[in-house]
Amino acid sequence: MGAKILQQDRLPELVDELISTHEVIGPKDELSYGRITSASAMYLSDKIPVRSLKEFLFPQREVLVEFQLAADQVRLTTPTIPADVARVVFASCPCDAAAFPILDQVFAWDYMDSSYLQRRENTVIISIACENPDRACFCVSVGGSPIESEGSDLLFTPLGEVYHVEIVTGRGKALVAEHAAFFRESNPEINRQRSVFEERSRAKITKQVDVTGLPEALSFDNPVWETVAEQCTDCGTCTYLCPTCHCFDIQDEGSSARQGERVRLWDACAFADYTRAHAGQPRPVHYRRYRQRIMHKFKYYQENFGETLCVGCGRCIRHCPVSVDITQVIKAVRE
């Protein structure tokens, strides 16, 4: 859809203009993205935040319905998602944005998840290309790249004094048109510099894993699952930080049985009570829970939707308290 140029020193002005008309989400610190109320509060760094963006479209705790029993009446109230909250995510990592088209397939599959889909519809995502991927990043192995535009509406690539601005979607195009005074046309020299940027960034990604033919190679009955799962403590950190993990539980909470809320809460296949039903826990043994995570990401999801449930962001490697490395696990299972 074309490309533009933005002077880097005009970025704060653009962000403040967006804040005047939109709810703007951006990196707040090394830990997380959050609501930004002034461009000066944004934490622009080349490090990927610890927490991913998914909580802004798929909150960790979400009220589905409020209930109240009065006499023989049951009153149900469904919280509304305001359709007119226009939101811009600014400075997303490309891999965080790339997770959303993957999540879209789940949330618009056999059930249309209106709260996720409405937030998705209302959100414009502006990503900044990755200049310094770290040792845990492996996006290139799962089809991504440091300048991946999938899932973004606009992709900014920092090139010295300017950003190269790739217009990826109609939503991105509309945002550029609304703020046309900030942008000028790109030119062949800037396009060339962007190719050099990509080459340099890609070269910094040293972690690799071969996912070719992985769905066929992953065997449910492979005895190696017990060995590779030994190190994992089932803490669930990797699933909560993962931008593509999307399992949830639905529970009733309230001060009494007569009044309360039905809530959706993130859940994790690592937890011992995950999917427990009246008949018991289908995966009572630890290694089976660990196997489920890997099989879901690299086999079941691929079979259902034709792609891998992983964008290679490296969070599960970077933040695992006992240094489990998913790429090493895949290699071990393959071998």
Q: Which stretch binds ligand SF4 (CB under 6 A): 13-21, 126-134, 162-170, 316-324?
A: 316-324
Pick the closer one to ligand SF4 by CB: 186 or 302: 302
Pick the closer one to ligand SF4 by CB: 25 or 324: 324
Q: Is residue 310 within the footprint of ligand SF4 (CB under 6 A)? A: yes
**Bridge-partner residues for 279, per DSSP?**
none
Which residue of 6, 324, 330, 333 would you call a contact of ligand SF4, by CB under 6 A?
Answer: 324
Pick the closer one to ligand SF4 by CB: 170 or 321: 321
Task: Kindly state the smallest distance separating residue 115's Cβ from ligand SF4, in Å.
Answer: 22
Q: Is residue 333 within the footprint of ligand SF4 (CB under 6 A)? A: no
Question: Cα dihedral angle (194, 197, 198, 199), rounded to 10 degrees?
Answer: 120
Question: Using CB under 6 A as the criterion, what x/- string covers residues 256-295 for binding ligand SF4?
Answer: --------------x-------------------------
89: nearest Cα among 118, 114, 119, 132: 119
Which residue of 120, 201, 312, 333 would you call a contact of ligand SF4, by CB under 6 A?
Answer: 312
* Per-residue CA distances from 86 to 22, 59, 123, 125, 306 (Å): 5, 17, 6, 11, 31
**Bridge-partner residues for 185, per DSSP?**
4
Q: State phi, psi for 12 to the nearest 5 degrees.
A: -60, -40
Long-range Cβ pairs for the range 300-309 (8 Å, 24+)? 302/214, 302/215, 303/215, 305/102, 305/105, 305/106, 307/102, 307/143, 308/142, 308/143, 308/211, 308/214, 309/102, 309/244, 309/245
Q: Is residue 175 within the footprint of ligand SF4 (CB under 6 A)? A: no
Q: Is residue 104 within the footprint of ligand SF4 (CB under 6 A)? A: no
Q: Is residue 133 within the footprint of ligand SF4 (CB under 6 A)? A: no
Q: In the complex, which residues of this chain contact ligand SF4 (CB under 6 A)? A: 232-238, 241-244, 270, 297, 310-316, 320-322, 324, 326
